[in-house]
Amino acid sequence: NTIRPHSSLGYQPPAPQVVIWPPEPSGSAPVAHSAIVTRPTIH
């Protein structure tokens, strides 16, 4: 059970790594940057 935990024991696969976008310069496109921040990250 330690090698291959069973789903009935409450095992959950590791969550996928969240991709963090690099911050853009403030003078480049603040409107587009704010739109990316407010967009939900549910995949």
Please indicate, yes or no, whether the overall pTM of this predicted structure exceeds 0.85. no
- For residue 1, is pLDDT > 50? no
Q: pLDDT by residue (tens digit) across 18-38?
A: 777 676 665 554 454 454 555
Q: Residue 12: pLDDT band by 50, 70, 90 thresholds?
A: low
| pLDDT number for residue 2 | 59
Q: What percent of the chain has pLDDT over 70?
A: 16
* DSSP code string of 8-43: GGT--PPPPPPPPPPPPPTTT-HHHHHHHHHS----
Judge whether 24 and 33 are in contact, CB under 8 Å: yes
Phi/psi at 10 (5° precision):
90, 20
| pLDDT number for residue 24 | 62
